[in-house]
Each structure stands twice: as structure tokens, then as C-alpha cells.
């Protein structure tokens, strides 16, 4: 299968870049968080509150196992890359791009967002530690790491498209 997965921490730009890349490469775009919300009929904060985080993690893995569409772009949730099984599915079914944004920028983007339950319950220090603890998994799972600092969304999207085409040509 030949999908493009965007991985990385909350707020690194997966959804924003995914939408633009979909337009540029003329491929359908799926946002995993949105797909899960649609399937379950509950918001992410509701899923976390009513069923717990572990249940949400199971929904993420189920989504990856059951999703059938080929030739598409998928922006993943920030925690998806932590499970080994998810890492394997993504690497075996597509090209994995990690959007590597600096933490202070991530924090500026996410700290007031009420739709991110993990952020709502934690201090800046705790979220920074989470970012640090996840970094290696993002890096190791990705075929390509794209550093987003000092780049506009347009530049990141163009660079991602360039890398995708380069790897397809190999």
C-alpha cells in the first residue's frame, strides 16, 4: 500500500500540512482524530472522560488495522506512534513523515486548546517531558523527518511533496 502518514506531537502541524499536501498531490486526506470522532459519535474529550485513555488508544489501533483506503494522506493523532503495532502498520503500508517542531512553538499553539484532554490536565513542564519522551519514537518510525522551525506551512508542504516524489522515484 502506498499511503503518506504524518506523525508528530500535538500541534506540530499534521492536520494543517496534511490538508495542504492532499491538495498539492491530489490525494484524499484523512485525519485520524476526526475519523475516530465520527465513528464513535463522541468528541475526543468525551471519549477520554467516559472510557479512559486506554480505550482511545485501542480505537487508534483498530482504525489503523481496519482502514482500507490506499493512495491517501493520513494525519495521525499525537500519541499514535507510541504503540509498536501502530509503528509497524504505518511503516508497512506507507511513507511516514515526522513533522519536528520545537517545543516552545508547540506549547504556544496548544496550551489554550480545550479539545486536547492531555494538555488540559497537565502543566507545561509535564507536556514538555511527554514531548521529550516521545521524540525518539517519532524519529525512529519516520522515513523522513521535516524540521518545521522557520518554515511556513506552504514551504513545509512543498518540501514534503518533494521528498515523497523523490522516494517514489527510487
Ligand X SMILES: O=C(O)C1=C[C@@H](O)[C@@H](O)[C@H](O)C1
- Residues 6 or more apart whose CB falls under 8 angstroms from that of 61 comprise 83, 85, 86
Q: Is 10 in the site for ligand ATP (CB under 6 A)?
A: yes
Tell which one of 74, 78, 81, 138 touches ligand X (CB under 6 A): 78
DSSP string, 78-118: TTGGGSHHHHHHHHHHEEEEEEE--HHHHHHHHTT-TT-HH
Draw the binding track, 8-47, toward Mg ion (x: CB under 5 A; -: no contact): ------xx--------------------------------
The answer to whether 41 is annotated as binding is no
Draw the binding track, 92-131, toward ligand ATP (x: CB under 6 A; -: no contact): -----------------x------x---------------
Tell which one of 6, 10, 17, 89 touches ligand X (CB under 6 A): 10
15-74 residues near ligand ATP, rule: CB under 6 A: 15-16, 33
> Do 152 and 159 touch, CB atoms closer than 8 A?
no
CA–CA distance, 60 with 62 (Å, rounded to integer)? 5
Number of residues that bind ligand ATP (CB under 6 A): 19
- Tell me the HSE value of 40 on the side-chain side, using a 13 A CA sphere: 22
**Residues facing residue 147 across a β-bridge:** 100
**Sites of contact with Mg ion (CB under 5 A):** 14-15
Amino acid at each position: 500500500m502506498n499511503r503518506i502518514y504524518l506523525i508528530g506531537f500535538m500541534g506540530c502541524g499534521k492536520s494543517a500540512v496534511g490538508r495542504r499536501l492532499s491538495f498539492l498531490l491530489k490525494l484524499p486526506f484523512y485525519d485520524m482524530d476526526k475519523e475516530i470522532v465520527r465513528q464513535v459519535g463522541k468528541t475526543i474529550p468525551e471519549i477520554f472522560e467516559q472510557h479512559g485513555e486506554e480505550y482511545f488508544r485501542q480505537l487508534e489501533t483498530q482504525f489503523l488495522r481496519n482502514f482500507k483506503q490506499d493512495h491517501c494522506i493520513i494525519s495521525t493523532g499525537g500519541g499514535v506512534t507510541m504503540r509498536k503495532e501502530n509503528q509497524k502498520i504505518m511503516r508497512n503500508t506507507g511513507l511516514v513523515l515526522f513533522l519536528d517542531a520545537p517545543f516552545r512553538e508547540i506549547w504556544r499553539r496548544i496550551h489554550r486548546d480545550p479539545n486536547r484532554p492531555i494538555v488540559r490536565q497537565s502543566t507545561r513542564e509535564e507536556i514538555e517531558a511527554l514531548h521529550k519522551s516521545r521524540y525518539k519514537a517519532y524519529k525512529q518510525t519516520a522515513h523522513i523527518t521535516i524540521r518545521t522551525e522557520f518554515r511556513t506551512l506552504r514551504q513545509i508542504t512543498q518540501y514534503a511533496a518533494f521528498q515523497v516524489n523523490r522516494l517514489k522515484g527510487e
